[in-house]
Amino acid sequence: MALNLVKLCVGCDSIETLAAWIDFRLEEKRAAGLLPEQFHTTRMVPKRVEELLAGGSLYWVIKGNIQCRQRLLEIRTFTDDEGINRCHLVLEPKIIPTEWQPRRAFQGWRYLNAEDAPLDEAAGKSGRAALPAELRRELAELGLL
């Protein structure tokens, strides 16, 4: 069974904002003649790499709820210019909306077992996917989702 990561999506207030940021960064890389791949840089390197790469995803917490995920493609370690070990979490640029799952703020990333991960929105049974994003946000802020 695949293992996942969960991380706060700092600076994004919606899935649409995240998607726009990804598109912008990929286009920026294409324009610079670089390989257009998406990755997230983190200081801590996961120890359970094999489990994560066996179908795992990075679940994004946006505005206090897990709202979407991206499939993990590769985990690359490197040392930055200051001599600090870091890690690139290489992600599939496709965003997969999930059922919303409340999550308190935390630093860094956390492991997320498959059985604890929210269902993909298309596989869910709640019908929340039919609600406009703004309405979902307001209902979540009121604690009704």
pLDDT in tens, 90-110: 999 999 999 989 999 888 899
Q: What is the model's pTM?
A: 0.84
pLDDT in tens, 23-67: 999 999 999 999 999 999 999 999 999 999 999 999 999 999 999
Kindly provide the b/e burial profile for residues 84-106, where b requires at least 16 CB atoms within 10 angstroms of the residue's own CB: eeebbbbbeeebebbbbbebeee
